Amino acid sequence: MEPRRRERQVIAVAGAAALVAVGLNIAFSAVAAHRRRKRQELPGFTAQVNLSPAEIKKLADRIIAKAKETYDSVAAVPLDKVSFANVVAPLAELDALQFPLVQACVLPRMVSTSEDVRKASAEAEKRLDSHFVLCRQREDVYRVIKAFAVKGERIGPEATRFLQCLVKEFERNGVKLSQSKGKEMEKLKCHIDELNLKYLQNLNDFTKFLLLSEDELAGMPFEFLKDLEKAEGKLKVPLTSYHVTPILEHCKVGSTRKQVAVAYGQKGGKDNLAILENLVQLRHKFARLLGYANYADFAIEPRMPRTSRKVLEFLEEISEQLSDVANRELSILKDLKMKEEGNAHVGMEDLLYYIKRAEEFKVDLDIGEIKQYFPVSLVISGMLKMFQDLFALRFDETKDAEVWHDTVRVFSVWDASSSDLLGYFFLDIFAREGKYCHTCVVTLQNGCLCSNGTRKVPAAVLLSQCPKEFDGNSALLRFPEVVRLFHEFSHVVHHISNRVTFSKFSALRLEGDFAEIPSLLLENWCYESISLKMMSGFHQDITKSITSEACQSLKRRRDLFAGLKMKQEILLCLVDQIIHSSENVDIDNLIKELHPKVMLGIPLLEGTSPASCFPRIAIGDDAVCYSYIWSEVFAADLFVSKFKDDLLNQHAGLRFRNKVLAPGGSKDSLEIITDYLGREPSLQSFIQSRTRNSL
């Protein structure tokens, strides 16, 4: 989905919805009409994608001005005159109208070839984000919304959910606080932001290195060694993940692995540990100001588990259920170490190395050869065909739509049976200078029903950095890149499949836990022969798809030592959850105590401080590190229960599209999945599917 950063929730509240619609559309058409005359229109799509710096600034100005005007209008509604027509309907309408305009301002930061355009876009995004935060803190607007909520007018389930979400978001932004407490909250937020940046800056500024001889680096590939600088007769090894991970995987010298692991584990040092401890206390103060017992409960309240206690129970249960298989995996590693080094004591510095050795014994797979079967063009065409077949969709390429670069392709999406237009997606998958450097999905427009009865259709962009064709030959993708593309395109289909009334409930504006479940579910198709063959073909003869044996090896490689790998992730999630749900925790001591309990007796590597170099806890995933594991468990249950025995069953795919994807955020996500499964989700499918091939 969108890049891992604080999600922009465009909460727009307004009065006279019709006037707002006219005002915004006239304002925008003035700066883009000349382009629309030259390009093919996309029915139901209003976002513009090719603005100049001046147009971006002008549009941002108009969005902010019109929003302020309509907020003032809502605030002026007498409390005894509130109604659906003058409170809820205008809020929903403005959100639907503003979202594609906002995205027209901020998308260029990620895709434009012009530095001036990217700069203007970044400035606009900053201004708009600040504006929307202020909108959510307007007590006068909240008072009107709350008055309508208290009135108890019957407005239907989706409208009721929309109203409840609005009330809660205003309250979570401190609108109920006194003036003095509101100022205190703002100071806390500023202090937290400063410490977040300082924590990351300390990691980015870390430039230490080790000097190691070639003998100390025995086992490292020649390609790795030849790129290292020399100093004092030795090789200079920077302590970056780019260098550390290969050493921990390939270096035969146990003392070197330990030396490197310890040095890298001290990356943030005492400074970052102190920063994290301070951050945790400030977050607790922030949450208590808003009436929560602790920061974890504040962070988790809008997500699927709802409470920190539920998350802790989940993590402890899955850790316990993985213990048997993880112990068997650890025994294999101990045997390998005994044979190679003469002792069976496995430390944290040994895990990657011996897992890699075990993979070589247990998986017959040449990664370099596998790459030859994934030309970019074939992966894309096969992926599109499979999603069409599975979900009863039709993708038609549109040749003359306006785009921001000549390599971008545009597709309309149709229901295969009814021929209804469902939405659009843009494929911007090739690398170029100035472009955002990761694979992700960016929303351009949300699907929703407008007050005049027309429907805005969803639209999204798939961004990636695939290599371009060379001498007429399609470039090749590594298998992890294939999986990533597939995962992200699943978000595109999720977004386009939604059929909600309110823009706020569009698929990519869901709570984080639920948003990842469909994509993690669909990743399974990348490890099954019938579907993987559809996306593969030898680059010199595409009629020769990847072999069934290679497909099985890829799946086995994914699942090998799943217990131990997951245990490491669970450990960090537990630390994150405990420190954000408890007061005055000594983080270093907590990790030392938890480590051998979770990791089957393996102690924390002496001299390391994971809390000082784990940025997910410091910023971005604070108190919600559990989310990815949670989503994986739900995805595994859905796959095993509904798809595993018939991967291309269109009836099953269509039912999933209608029951799980279409509702978006208009219903409680746990309720959606429980209704679809016909029962509560279970850990067992995940445990069984991921550990069946783990040894």
- Residues carrying an active site annotation: 488
pLDDT exceeds 90 at position 145: yes
The residue to which tokens 């101990």 are assigned: 334
- Measured from the Cβ of residue 139, the count of other Cβ atoms closer than 10 Å reads 15
- What integer is the mean pLDDT of 347-362? 94
- What integer is the mean pLDDT of 131-135? 92
The residue to which tokens 């995996």 are assigned: 329
pLDDT in tens, 539-559: 888 888 899 999 999 999 999
CA 116 to chain centre: 28
- DSSP-derived letter for residue 546 is P
Q: If pLDDT is split at 50, 70 and 90, which confidence band does 3 have?
A: very low
Angle, CA of 95, 505 and 681, to the nearest 5°: 165
Residue type, 158: E
Tokens of 106: 């901020």
**Is the distance from CB of 284 to CB of 191 less than 8 angstroms?**
no
**Is the distance from CB of 617 to CB of 276 less than 8 angstroms?**
yes
Least confident of 166-175, 343-352, 398-407, 510-519: 510-519
d(Cα 97, Cα 10) in Å, to the nearest integer? 11
d(Cα 62, Cα 640) in Å, to the nearest integer? 50
Torsion angle, alpha carbons of 688, 689, 690, 691, to 10: 40
Q: If pLDDT is split at 50, 70 and 90, which confidence band does 40 have?
A: confident
Q: pTM for the complete prediction? A: 0.91
pLDDT of residue 215: 96
Tokens of 124: 């606009």
d(Cα 107, Cα 433) in Å, to the nearest integer? 16
- What integer is the mean pLDDT of 386-413? 96
pLDDT of residue 4: 38
Q: Which of 64, 125, 73, 75 is nearest to 98 (CA)?
A: 64
Least confident of 362-371, 382-391, 491-500, 659-668: 362-371
Angle, CA of 13, 15 and 16, to the nearest 5°: 135
What are the φ/ψ torsions at residue 441 (nearest 5 degrees)? Answer: -120, 135
Tokens of 97: 């109208």
- DSSP-derived letter for residue 661 is I
Which residues lie across from 394 on neighbouring strands?
Answer: 414
pLDDT in tens, 459-477: 999 999 998 877 777 899 9
What are the DSSP E strand ranges found in 91-238?
A: 209-212, 229-231, 234-238
Mean pLDDT over the full length of the chain: 91
Residue type, 637: D
Q: Which of 468, 463, 490 is nearest to 376 (CA)?
A: 468
Q: 539 in the Ramachandran plot: left (φ > 0), alpha (ψ -120 to 50) or beta?
A: alpha
Residues 145-151: contacts with CB under 8 Å, at least 24 apart: 145/13, 145/74, 145/87, 145/91, 145/170, 147/79, 147/82, 148/82, 148/83, 148/84, 148/87, 148/88, 151/82
pLDDT of residue 1: 52
d(Cα 602, Cα 333) in Å, to the nearest integer? 12
Distance linking the first and last C-alpha atoms of the chain: 32
d(Cα 400, Cα 409) in Å, to the nearest integer? 10
- Measured from the Cβ of residue 567, the count of other Cβ atoms closer than 10 Å reads 22
Which residues lie across from 230 on neighbouring strands?
Answer: 235
- What integer is the mean pLDDT of 672-679? 95
Q: If pLDDT is split at 50, 70 and 90, which confidence band does 694 have?
A: low
- Measured from the Cβ of residue 64, the count of other Cβ atoms closer than 10 Å reads 18
What are the φ/ψ torsions at residue 297 (nearest 5 degrees)? Answer: -65, -35
Element (H, E) at 82: none
Q: Which of 168, 149, 145 is nearest to 160 (CA)?
A: 149
pLDDT exceeds 50 at position 34: no
Q: What is residue 122's three-state secondary structure?
A: helix
- Residue 310 has, within 13 A of its CA and on its CB side, a CA count of 12
Q: Which of 88, 94, 185, 179 is nearest to 139 (CA)?
A: 179
d(Cα 107, Cα 555) in Å, to the nearest integer? 36
Tell how strand 421-430 and strand 409-415 pair up: antiparallel
pLDDT exceeds 70 at position 432: yes
Q: What is the side-by-side order of every strand in the sheet holding 459-466?
A: 393-398, 409-415, 421-430, 459-466, 440-445
DSSP of 293-355: SSHHHHHHTTSSS-SHHHHHHHHHHHHHHHHHHHHHHHHHHHHHHHHHHS-----HHHHHHHH
pLDDT of residue 37: 45
- Residue 4 has, within 13 A of its CA and on its CB side, a CA count of 13
pLDDT exceeds 50 at position 627: yes
CA 41 to chain centre: 31
Tokens of 456: 């805005």
Query: Angle 308-341/562-579 helices, nearest 10 degrees?
Result: 140
Residue 129's alpha-carbon distances to 120, 142, 309, in angstroms, are 14, 19, 32
Least confident of 15-29, 218-232, 271-285, 598-612: 15-29
Residue 353's alpha-carbon distances to 253, 416, 480, 692, in angstroms, are 10, 49, 20, 22
Q: If pLDDT is split at 50, 70 and 90, which confidence band does 41 have?
A: confident
Residue 344's alpha-carbon distances to 219, 331, 567, in angstroms, are 20, 9, 20
pLDDT in tens, 6-24: 333 332 222 333 333 334 4
pLDDT exceeds 70 at position 25: no
- What integer is the mean pLDDT of 601-623? 92
